[in-house]
Structure 1
Amino acid sequence: MVVVVNTASEKAIAEWRESLAEMAPHLEVRWWDDANLDPADVRYAVVWKPEHGRLAHFTGLKVLFSLGAGVDNIVADPAWPRHVPLVRMVPAEGPQRMGEYVTWAALSLQKDLPRIFRSREAKNWDSFATPTPATECTVGIMGLGAMGRRSADLLRGVGFPVIGWSRSRKALPFENFAGAEELDAFLARSRILVCLLPATPETTGILSAPLLVKLPRGAGLINSGRGAHQNLADIIAALDEGHLTGAVLDVFDPEPLPADSPAWIHPKIIVTSHIGAGPSTRECARYVATSISAFELREALYNLYDPTRGY
């Protein structure tokens, strides 16, 4: 059975081959651009940004894996094989990695890391007190899936009060809001807003002026969800006006972030390169191997894309 991997380099495919040879030696791993690949032989595909129409050539495909937690780059293809199960990449380590990133980002905003960076660049000894301790800085998390829940655990562990918001009510050990009718109340209490929402038509552009103005004046913003969530011009306007005091942005549209983007040089923005929950190749390979084993044993697949929810 052939697994084809859509990666950016020969080095990456070598890592996939090495990992799957250990974890699932019955699988043959081939590169997406292998000129000798017969599409009819492919049973499993691991992809991120496949060119439109290519997946339709894999007529024997049994399971399709996204290389990320999101699948928008796949379902944007009008010809993607909708009859094939589409599995989102959510390795066990992913929520922990995301929780670590979000906690770092929240502390960076609470400690005013952009100001520290500016002082370093200017070689200016700027000794200042943090305006608000973490225990008085409520973090609001939009999106309460595995990533959001683990982020809440770690944030609470260092003292941040946490509230959450999602489309439907969740039974969680912290206060959470649900639905459009409770969104404004949630935003009004979020001193730091974290976006971990899935990519759906409803969430596209959600981080724009109409939402940002409902945050408390002086709030911070963390987006490690999707680049399509944010209107960068509106975020920069809110920072320049002072309604937002800082932003940590890990995702962009497009990616990589163009060199001439104002986000790179804005004094109140920390740019990271989509590293929030980035699993290692070994973690991804283990996840794929485990999922294929479950499928072959006719067991349930987890983290399946649900077109009715959009994620």
Structure 2
Amino acid sequence: MLNILFAANASRWSQYQVPLRRAFDAAGLKVTLFTETDAPETVDYIIYAPNGAVSDFTPFTGCKAVLGLWAGVEKIVGNTTLTQPLCRMVDSGLEEGMVEWVTGHVLRHHLGMDAHILHQNGVWEPVAPPLARDRTVAILGLGELGRACAQALAALRFNVLGWSRSPKDVPGVTCLSGEDGLDKALSLAEIVVLLLPQTPETENLLNAARLARLPEGAVIINPGRGPLIDDDALLAALDAGHIGHATLDVFRVEPLPPAHPFWAHPKVTVTPHIASETRPDSASRVIAENIRRGEAGEPFLFLVDRAKGY
């Protein structure tokens, strides 16, 4: 019998309790699942989210792995008390949700939907957008989510550039890497989608200098991490007319404070961190499979590289 601690926000317990038990049963795992314990040394695995109650992992001396419910690990990867293996969440439902959100907003900007929605002024202006094959979209970040979004957009015949810190190969996507590759991607992209992890190397990746490299009128879509963009530099580029619009789902402070200038800016769309949400059913299957692997002595899925930070 395995002891498994659910250490996420208490509000999530009602959503995950049944799917987790169902997934453990399907994987043939005999478990005791609980949300708090007076005997942390007996815990075999921790199901974790940063908004839960656990921040000190020192007492969990018997814990074989910490299994995250979030794709991002920036809030835990530097925790010095965490000596156990850490796995991030890569979930088919999360991936599908991200692809749908990114594709929807790329098409929205590509087709110029905002103009039709906001300017019903009685003026007949039959201006057609270019075809997707004539529109360049850059995806910054080619992990699981970035790769899936890049391939979905390529399937719609967009000219897709994919950039990553290290070389990648994605069918149907022109892959670039390194600083020169980033310069090229930015100089060509009419729409930029940010799907990078938050690390010291990616913070403020889109600063004033890099925003200036984008073509005039370019659109920025950020469902990745808020700190990837220098907020002040973005606002300045929007006000100057160099950046045409920014659709932002993630922010440095969440919820986004009511007084933040993004809310009222005419060239900013704010969505409340909904681009992709972990789905309890599919996430529970990922958790169960990783515990099965741990018990069978097989490598964990989606193991975090502490040196890289993701």
Q: 1:128-155: CA deviations, max 9, x gaps?
A: 5354443321001111111111111111
Aligned to 1:107: 107
Matched, 1:42 2:40: no
Structure 1: unaligned runs, 5 residues or longer: none
Residues 100 and 154 of structure 1 are in contact (CA less than 8 Å); yes or no, is this contact kept in structure 2? no
Residues 146-225 of structure 1 mapped to structure 2, 5 A cutoff = 146-173=144-171, 174-225=173-224
From the superposition, tell whether residues 148 and 61 of structure 1 become closer, same or farther in structure 2 (CA, over 3 Å). same
Residues 91 and 287 of structure 1 are in contact (CA less than 8 Å); yes or no, is this contact kept in structure 2? yes
Query: Number of residue pairs matched?
Result: 302
Residues 114 and 270 of structure 1 are in contact (CA less than 8 Å); yes or no, is this contact kept in structure 2? no
Q: 1:74-127: CA deviations, max 9, x gaps?
A: 1243x3322x110010013333322222111111222334445544xxx74565
Residues 219 and 243 of structure 2 are in contact (CA less than 8 Å); yes or no, is this contact kept in structure 1? yes
Residues 101 and 276 of structure 1 are in contact (CA less than 8 Å); yes or no, is this contact kept in structure 2? yes
Question: What is the one-letter code of the residue matched to 2:88?
Answer: R
Aligned to 1:143: 141
From the superposition, tell whether residues 113 and 270 of structure 1 become closer, same or farther in structure 2 (CA, over 3 Å). farther
SS at 1:65's partner residue? strand
Moved over 6 A (4+): none
Q: Alpha-carbon deviation of 1:7?
A: 3.1
Aligned-residue sequence identity (percent) comes to: 34
Q: Alpha-carbon deviation of 1:292?
A: 0.6
Aligned to 1:267: 266
Give the root-mean-square deviation of aligned CA atoms: 2.1
From the superposition, tell whether residues 23 and 53 of structure 1 become closer, same or farther in structure 2 (CA, over 3 Å). closer
Aligned to 2:294: 295
Residues 3 and 44 of structure 2 are in contact (CA less than 8 Å); yes or no, is this contact kept in structure 1? yes
From the superposition, tell whether residues 27 and 244 of structure 1 become closer, same or farther in structure 2 (CA, over 3 Å). same
From the superposition, tell whether residues 130 and 52 of structure 1 become closer, same or farther in structure 2 (CA, over 3 Å). farther
Question: What is the one-letter code of the residue matched to 2:175?
Answer: N
Q: Distance in 1 between matches of 2:290 and 2:223?
A: 25
SS at 1:74's partner residue? coil
SS at 1:107's partner residue? helix
From the superposition, tell whether residues 216 and 40 of structure 1 become closer, same or farther in structure 2 (CA, over 3 Å). same
Question: What is the one-letter code of the residue matched to 1:59?
Answer: T
